[in-house]
Structures are given as structure tokens and as C-alpha cells.
């Protein structure tokens, strides 16, 4: 898994723009939460679909970016959480034990 670190609010505009040509995924991770660590591990063990950029957000370091994601993509905050962005909109979000690479691949292909 080649994570792209999400560490600047300006990247959210880039993610929206890039999502018009290929899906973008944001994984919101709390480094203090065992459930979040388990979800991250499950993603990293899965087979990542080609053609998706995977962003990693450390919620402890970047709470401001997490709040901006809520505003920009009109989603509720969860941790851990994945958001799949396509055509500038969040088309799928899931949290906790519902996070799965198979579901991400299915949603990206839809």
C-alpha cells in the first residue's frame, strides 16, 4: 500500500480535482485507537484496486483537516473512516469494522 500523507488542507482541493479523472480514497486514522489500527492493517493486507490514490490522515496530528473533510464532503466524522471521492463528491463512506478493500473496489467500479 502506497499511502499519500494528507497533511495540508489545500490537498483537499487537489483530491476533489483528481477525483474527476480517477477515484481518491481518504483513510482517517486515530493512532490512539486499536480499532483504527485494526482497520488500517486490514486495508494494508488487502489487494488495493489499481487506479485509486490512497490518502492517509493522522487524526491526532491533523484534527483541523478532519473537520475540513466534514465540511467539504458533507459527511459525519467517524474514526476510523474511509471516504471514496469520485467526480468531486464523496460517493461512499464507511467506518470501523465496515471498512473493507473489497467494498472499496466495488464502489470505485460503480
Q: What is the count of structural domains for the chain?
A: 1
Strands (E), 6-108: 24-29, 53-58, 81-86, 89-95
On the question of pLDDT at 90 being above 90, the answer is: yes
**Across the strands, what pairs with 85?**
24, 90
d(CA 104, CA 65): 22
Task: Report the pLDDT value the prediction gives residue 40, as an integer from 0 to 100.
Answer: 95
Mean per-residue pLDDT of the chain = 95
pLDDT (0 to 100) of residue 110: 84
Model confidence at 1: pLDDT above 90: no
Domain of residue 23 covers: 3-109
Q: Please give the pLDDT value at position 61.
A: 96
- Domain containing 34 — which CATH number? 3.40.30.10
Residue 57, pLDDT score: 98
Q: Is the pLDDT confidence value at 58 over 90?
A: yes
| pTM beyond 0.85, yes or no | yes
Amino acid at each position: 500500500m502506497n499511502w499519500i500523507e494528507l497533511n495540508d488542507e489545500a490537498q483537499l482541493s487537489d483530491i476533489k480535482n483528481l477525483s474527476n479523472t480517477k477515484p481518491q480514497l481518504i483513510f482517517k486514522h486515530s493512532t490512539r485507537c486499536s480499532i483504527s489500527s485494526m482497520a488500517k492493517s486490514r486495508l494494508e493486507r488487502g489487494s488495493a484496486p489499481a487506479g485509486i490514490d490512497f490518502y492517509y490522515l493522522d487524526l491526532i496530528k491533523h484534527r483541523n483537516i478532519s473537520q475540513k473533510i466534514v465540511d467539504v464532503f458533507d459527511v459525519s466524522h467517524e474514526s476510523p473512516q474511509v471516504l471514496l471521492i469520485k467526480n468531486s463528491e464523496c460517493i461512499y463512506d464507511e467506518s470501523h469494522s465496515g471498512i473493507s478493500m473489497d467494498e472499496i473496489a466495488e464502489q470505485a467500479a460503480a
